[in-house]
Chains A and B, each alone.
Chain A
């Protein structure tokens, strides 16, 4: 006796769907959202316009929290201080993606990953793109620096940084 026994379910092919052999009902949702960015992230985005990264300090555990938040999720106390951090850091992990956001194949791959930022507590970072490097060169632990859009093109968004590139020797 093997369980499950006689499992049901009728598989459909793409052809059956496309040629209308089966009845399907379609609906195209049209909704828009206006998200509040909140106290901490609003200031963070304002500083992005100035080409700066800012964090919040927790007086209780002394961590420099980045991305910034108005409360520390570990101590569960309000954070107390704004702290400017650098726009350099190191690659914690990365991927080289041949998929776009809808899983469509792309030929020019996206270099993406997590970068921890210098001046914040250990491992505190953001997801972002990498460029000016190659599949062969990029590595975990590589020091990197933000490449900002020109000031007039910044709009207070995570994409005000175009990408992170390898830090050059002697550069800070």
Chain B
């Protein structure tokens, strides 16, 4: 298996509604990634596109619609989709193109335009539920998070204020991100006093629906060495999905994230993630999800993530910086395109290019993770500085 490096990343701003089409956003992100890598489209051997449910864009065969903006015309091209997990699964699909020897340079693009659907993206999310057992109950996707959050809080006896700290931290971190949609200086009380959506989920516990695109350039070690001395390697990849029967499992712990993490740690030869990981970007569409995923990634014990957060361990200047980008909570949540604040961010952090967001602990190893489907899917990617 060949070694794979990251050469560049790019992303558009994330907003509730952008003027640009999905194709145009993909083009902007792709151009930025190519420029950072110092490459042109002709140097790209294959293209992987990631995008979430077609129902948002209202265009079935969305991959084909986005093709030209993603630089895929006339090249080996495919679209991958694993719900919210697409954000980190898309670069994993790019990795195997190069690791297998099928390509030397792979362009990875992720896009989401959630604002096209009316009255609300939630109306499109309704179509992911089981049509016979779930849909007659007229579910809202926020229910999933509310039910999972309540179970997580109740099993471990976690207070809401300890979860609200995550929203405060990430929205503050996002003040330093040029693409951010909901950056803010808030207090725990602001979160606790925000509108009740679906108990225990409140307005400021949630990331916003967004439009946006992001891109990454991956290359074989041989190609990368010709272009840069500062190598960042994709060191481990993992993905795992649990049964569709989500009402049959205990929601307090994401076993499937742990499954994906173990697969990635084994490949990266990481035995003690807590000591060896320097910076983490777990998927944070809701504040409790960052904690839930830190535990799933085995970065701490079950129920310990809120304690580490309270102690400041996960702040940008803490022992284990978590979501230094500002995350989905602060930068925005264009589902697949959150690759820009997960995989791209870990690359920028390890390459020392994160500017005001740069974590000060001289990171050597970073991890990112995304989550999706009906509380059942995890994708994990580990990067290491060369």
B is bound to A: yes
Residues of A at the B interface (CB closer than 8 Å) are 1-14, 17, 22, 27, 29, 33, 35, 37, 41, 45, 65-67, 69, 73, 92-104, 109, 112-114, 123-129, 135, 140, 157-159
Q: Give Cα A118 to B15, complex, Å.
A: 47
Interface string of B119-159 (1 = CB under 8 A from A): 11011001000011110111110110011101100100000
- Taking a contact as CB atoms under 8 Å apart, the answer to whether A95 and B133 are in contact is no
Interface positions of B from 318 to 373, Cβ below 8 Å from A:
340, 344, 348, 351, 353-357
Query: What residue of chain B has the Cβ atom nearest to residue A128's Cβ?
Result: B137
**When the two chains form the complex, which single residue of B140, B151, B211, B340 contacts A4, counting CB atoms closer than 8 Å?**
B340
- Taking a contact as CB atoms under 8 Å apart, the answer to whether B245 and A67 are in contact is yes
Tell me what chain A mostly uses at the interface: helix, strand, loop, or mixed. Answer: loop
A97 to chain B, nearest CB (A): 4
With A2-B355, A103-B120 known as contacts, the answer to whether A7 contacts B133 (CB < 8 A) is: no
Query: What residue of chain A has the Cβ atom nearest to residue B179's Cβ?
Result: A7
Query: What residue of chain A has the Cβ atom nearest to residue B252's Cβ?
Result: A93
Query: What residue of chain B has the Cβ atom nearest to residue A12's Cβ?
Result: B17
With A9-B12, A9-B13, A9-B20 known as contacts, the answer to whether A93 contacts B32 (CB < 8 A) is: no
- Taking a contact as CB atoms under 8 Å apart, the answer to whether A92 and B151 are in contact is yes
- Taking a contact as CB atoms under 8 Å apart, the answer to whether B120 and A102 are in contact is yes
Q: Give Cα A171 to B344, complex, Å.
A: 57
A157 to chain B, nearest CB (A): 6
A167 to chain B, nearest CB (A): 19
With A2-B357, A4-B344, A10-B20 known as contacts, the answer to whether A96 contacts B199 (CB < 8 A) is: yes
- Taking a contact as CB atoms under 8 Å apart, the answer to whether B58 and A27 are in contact is yes
- Taking a contact as CB atoms under 8 Å apart, the answer to whether B13 and A11 are in contact is yes
Q: In the complex, what residues of A have CB within 8 A of residue B251's CB?
A: 92-93, 114
Q: In the complex, what residues of A have CB within 8 A of residue B131's CB?
A: 33, 35
Return 24 A-B CB contacts under 8 Å, by A number: A1-B355, A2-B354, A3-B351, A4-B11, A4-B32, A4-B348, A7-B178, A8-B12, A9-B25, A9-B212, A12-B19, A13-B17, A93-B147, A93-B148, A97-B142, A102-B140, A103-B142, A123-B248, A124-B248, A126-B133, A127-B133, A127-B134, A129-B137, A140-B154
Interface string of B29-61 (1 = CB under 8 A from A): 000100010000000000000000000001000
- Taking a contact as CB atoms under 8 Å apart, the answer to whether A95 and B146 are in contact is yes
Query: What residue of chain A has the Cβ atom nearest to residue B351's Cβ?
Result: A3
Q: Does B247 contact A (CB under 8 A)?
A: yes
B288 to chain A, nearest CB (A): 13
Query: What residue of chain A has the Cβ atom nearest to residue B345's Cβ?
Result: A3
- Taking a contact as CB atoms under 8 Å apart, the answer to whether B11 and A7 are in contact is yes
Interface positions of B from 211 to 246, Cβ below 8 Å from A:
211-212, 243, 245
Interface positions of B from 178 to 207, Cβ below 8 Å from A:
178-179, 195-201
Q: Give Cα A65 to B211, complex, Å.
A: 41
Query: What residue of chain B has the Cβ atom nearest to residue A36's Cβ?
Result: B132
